Amino acid sequence: MPDVYRALGDSTRRHIMKMLKEKSMTQKEIVEAFDISQPAIKKHLNVLLEEELISATIQGKYRLYTLNVDTLQRAYSEMLQYIGDLLDDKLASLKNYVEKGELKDD
């Protein structure tokens, strides 16, 4: 599973993802939307690529960045399952406490 928290833990990367939600873009187009250097944007793009939240294809002499919707959907589903499991455990502990006056150790 990609480390979604690592990838989206930075506001610049979240902004890049939001931009790519609208359309695929070149690195130059992405750089123009920020007040930071091209190498800094490249580092952010590399993190997003490493975590497979975006993909890059070569078109002519440009690299086109695209949102990887399949990976995002899988990560979202896995995160929901994880949160659901946590809540189920807590609810079971609460039920046990209410019914028996005992709290299950975690």
pLDDT tens figures, 28-41: 999 999 999 999 99
List the domain boundaries for the chain: 4-68
The two structure tokens encoding residue 36: 């930071």
pTM score above 0.85: no
Q: What is the pLDDT at residue 63? A: 94
Instruction: Check: CB of residue 103 under 8 Å from CB of residue 96.
Output: yes
Any idea which architecture 4-68 has in CATH?
Answer: Orthogonal Bundle (1.10)
**Average pLDDT for consecutive 10-residue bins of the chain (106 residues)?**
80 96 96 96 96 94 94 86 80 74 58
**Residue 70, CA distances (Å) to 7, 13, 76 in order:** 16, 18, 10
The two structure tokens encoding residue 74: 């899988």
